[in-house]
Amino acid sequence: MSTLHVIDHPMIQHKLTLMRKEDTSCKDFRELLDEISMLMAYEVTRDLPLMEVTIKTPICETKQNMIAGKALVIVPILRAGIGMVNGLHRLVPAAKVGHIGLYRDPETHKPVEYYCKLPSQLEERELIVVDPMLATGGSAVDAISLVKQRGGKRIKFMCLVAAPEGVKALQEAHPDVDIFTAALDEKLNDHAYIVPGLGDAGDRIFGTM
Ligand code: PRP
Ligand code: URA
């Protein structure tokens, strides 16, 4: 079974509380999401593989560590996942970006795929699939299945707010994928929105309420 990491650093909790408030503007919501994503990225990348390199300081030659392997890949689930890319890029500027377009059908709440463009050689890369909301888990489960179909093997999922239902669904479907979230909320409501949550993340990022 995968591990659920709740990254509840005080600064992240403070910023997330501001995001949850209904009167927070789109501009502030986007900026806060960006800041939290960068803070979370620090933990999500904690176990990246290292390689030893020999360098020369002004004092002597020495063996030190650098990140090993091919550039990692950030995979935002469109639309709302886009809001987390910049924060990750600030910590890992060389990361490549793959996009997966999914939206939840308003009646069935099931994800509908409309776009998929991923970098090559996925099997050799670390991948972080990102979406602010893990509600029923349908979108994350399908996005990660697509990444695996294209060869992805070392995958993590990073979100902002998770519901217990989504965590369960994702852990059952992809037991090899660790989940990183800033908060584990109470439950889903009858419309499959997270309670207390923060509303529709995509609408709040892009101002489409
Ligand atoms: C939201 C959110 C996730 C999905 C989560 O996207 O950004 O992708 O819902 O719900 P789930 O866990 O029940 O699948 P939405 O479908 O509203 O699309 P959008 O990002 O384009 O607004
Ligand atoms: N998608 C959102 O944007 N918010 C929720 O609470 C659930 C799904």
Given a cut of 90, whether residue 94 has pLDDT beyond it is: yes
Best residue for ligand 1 mutational test, from 112, 114, 131 (most atoms within 8 Å of Cβ): 131
| pLDDT confidence tier of residue 158, bands split at 50, 70 and 90 | very high
pLDDT at 1: 86
Beta carbon of 79 within 6 Å of any ligand 1 atom? yes
Residue 18: the pLDDT is 98
CA of 147 to the centre of ligand 1 (A): 17
The 10s digit of each residue's pLDDT in 8-36 is 999 999 999 999 999 999 999 999 999 99
> Whose C-alpha lies nearest to ligand 2, atom 3?
200
Q: Which of 37, 99, 102 to mutate to test the pocket of ligand 1 (most atoms within 8 A of CB)?
A: 102
Q: Is 77 in the pocket of ligand 1 (CB under 6 A)?
A: yes
pLDDT bracket for residue 42 (50, 70, 90): very high
pLDDT at 85 over 90: yes
**Residues 77, 143 contacting (CB under 8 angstroms):** yes
pLDDT digits (tens, 9 = 90+) for 145-156: 999 999 999 999
Query: pTM of this prediction?
Result: 0.96
Q: Is the per-residue pLDDT at 209 higher than 90?
A: no
Active site residues: 104, 108, 200, 203
**Atom 4 of ligand 2, residue of closest alpha carbon:** 200
How many Å lie between the centroid of ligand 2 and the Cα of residue 43? 24
Q: How confident is the model at residue 2 (pLDDT cuts 50, 70, 90)?
A: very high
- Residue 64 alpha carbon to ligand 1 centre in Å: 42
Residue 192 has pLDDT above 90, yes or no: yes
What is the reported pLDDT for 61? 98
For the cut 90, the answer to whether the pLDDT of residue 165 exceeds it is: yes
Q: Residue 39's closest CA among 129, 173, 160?
A: 160
**Using a 6 Å cutoff on CB, does residue 103 contact ligand 1?**
yes
